[in-house]
Structure 1
C-alpha cells in the first residue's frame, strides 16, 4: 500500500487528516510493515513524525508508572490503549525493557519464569522532564485507536465485521505479516550479493511460493 491508493476507501479512515497510508517497518502487529522496527521508524503520526524506539521507551515508562507489570502485560496495555491498532511483539518489547533496565530507568525481579518490571526514581525523573511528550504520544496512539474503531464499524455495516482483520487482508495472520517482513529484510540484506547468489535466492523464493500454493491447494486444516 506504500505510496499507492487504498484498496478500499474504508481503509482511508485510518489515515485521518493525513489522507494517505502509514509507513514504517514492522516489529509488531499492525498493518503488515507497521510498528516499531529495530532502531527504526514505526507508523506515521498525523504531525508527520514517526513513532521511534525512543517513543516506545517513553510509553513503557509511563505504563510502569501506573503499576509494575510483566512484559506481556505491557504488550496488552499498548493493545488496549490503541484499540488493537498496535500490538508489539515480544521481540520489540523485551529489548526495549532491557535497554531501560541497563539505563537504570527500570528494575526487574524474577517471578518464576517471568520478570516483573517497575519504574525507578531515574525513570520517574525522565518521565517528569518529558511529560508533555508522553501525553502527546498517548493522545495520538488513542486517536489511531478511535480511527480503527470507525474502520471496524464501516466494515461491520456491510456485513464484514466478523471477518474484518484490522491488521491487513482478511485471513492474514500477524505471524504471516511478520514473516513477509523478515523475508523483505533478508532480501534487502543481500543486495550486494553476487549474481550466482542472487539466482540462488530467486530459486529459494520460487520453491517457497510453490510450497505455499501446494499447501493452499490441499485445503485448510480447519475445514
Structure 2
C-alpha cells in the first residue's frame, strides 16, 4: 500500500522524479536544450508515471522509444531526460505494473504492461486520460494540436476513451470486430468529406 501511495502521489522531495518536481528535464526551445522558453510543467507532479504506463500499455517499448514518443507528441518542445524516465520505469517495475524483457540480445530493456498495470490504469482512467490530453495539448498549449478547436480535441479524446474502454472488456467476437471497424471506417469517410 505504501508503494501504491508513493506511486500515485509522488514524494515530497520528488524521489523517483518524473521531470516535473525539481528533477532535470530537457526543454528544446529557442534558447537551447535547457532554454527558458518552451519548458514548463507538462504533466504536473507524478503525471509522467501515468503517461509512461499508458504508452507502454499501448505498445511495449524501450525507454528511449518512450522518450521519443513524448517528444514527438509535444512537437519537440519538451523531452523528459533519461535520468527522469528510467527511475520512473524502475518504480513501475517494482510496483508490478510493467515487466521487463531483455531478449533482444542487445541488453536493452523492453517494457510491457502487466495485468496489475492494466488494472491500475483502469482504476485511474480519468487521471490517465487527463495526463494524455495534456501531452497532446503540448507544453503551455503550444504542442502540435494547439491550433485545433477545443471541441475537436474533446471529441477525439472521447473517441479514444470509448475505444479503450470497449477493448479493455471481453475480447471482440468476429462480428463485433467487423462492426467496430465499420464504425471507425464510416467516421473516417465522413471526416474526409468535411
Shorter-normalised TM range: 0.5 to 0.7
1:66 to 58, 63, 70: 58
Poorly superposed stretches of 4+, deviation over 6 Å = none
1:77: Cα distance to partner?
0.8
Asked if 2 retains the 8 angstrom alpha-carbon contact of 1:78 and 1:87, the reply is yes
Cα distance 1:147–1:114, how it changes in 2: closer, same or farther (>3 A)? same
1:149: Cα distance to partner?
5.2
Aligned equivalent of 2:109:
115
Alpha-carbon distance in structure 1 between the residues aligned to 2:94 and 2:35? 29
- The Cα offsets for residues 30-72 of structure 1, whole Å up to 9 and x where unpaired, read as 26388xxxxxxx9346xxxx622x2111101100111110001
1:73: Cα distance to partner?
0.5
RMSD (CA atoms): 2.7
Alpha-carbon distance in structure 2 between the residues aligned to 1:126 and 1:98? 16
2:44 to 41, 44, 51: 51
Where in structure 2 are there 5+ consecutive unaligned residues? 1-19, 147-194
Alpha-carbon distance in structure 1 between the residues aligned to 2:93 and 2:143? 33
Q: TM-score, normalization: structure 2?
A: 0.53
Larger radius of gyration: 1
Cα distance 1:131–1:79, how it changes in 2: closer, same or farther (>3 A)? same
- The Cα offsets for residues 145-203 of structure 1, whole Å up to 9 and x where unpaired, read as 5614599xxxxxxxxxxxxxxxxxxxxxxxxxxxxxxxxxxxxxxxxxxxxxxxxxxxx
Cα distance 1:142–1:124, how it changes in 2: closer, same or farther (>3 A)? same
Alpha-carbon distance in structure 2 between the residues aligned to 1:69 and 1:105? 14
1:147 to 138, 142, 145: 142
Cα distance 1:149–1:126, how it changes in 2: closer, same or farther (>3 A)? closer
2:126 to 129, 132, 157: 132
- The Cα offsets for residues 74-116 of structure 1, whole Å up to 9 and x where unpaired, read as 0011111211122111111110010100110000011322011
Aligned equivalent of 2:94:
102
Aligned equivalent of 1:28:
25
Number of aligned positions between the proteins: 117
Q: TM-score, normalization: structure 1?
A: 0.47
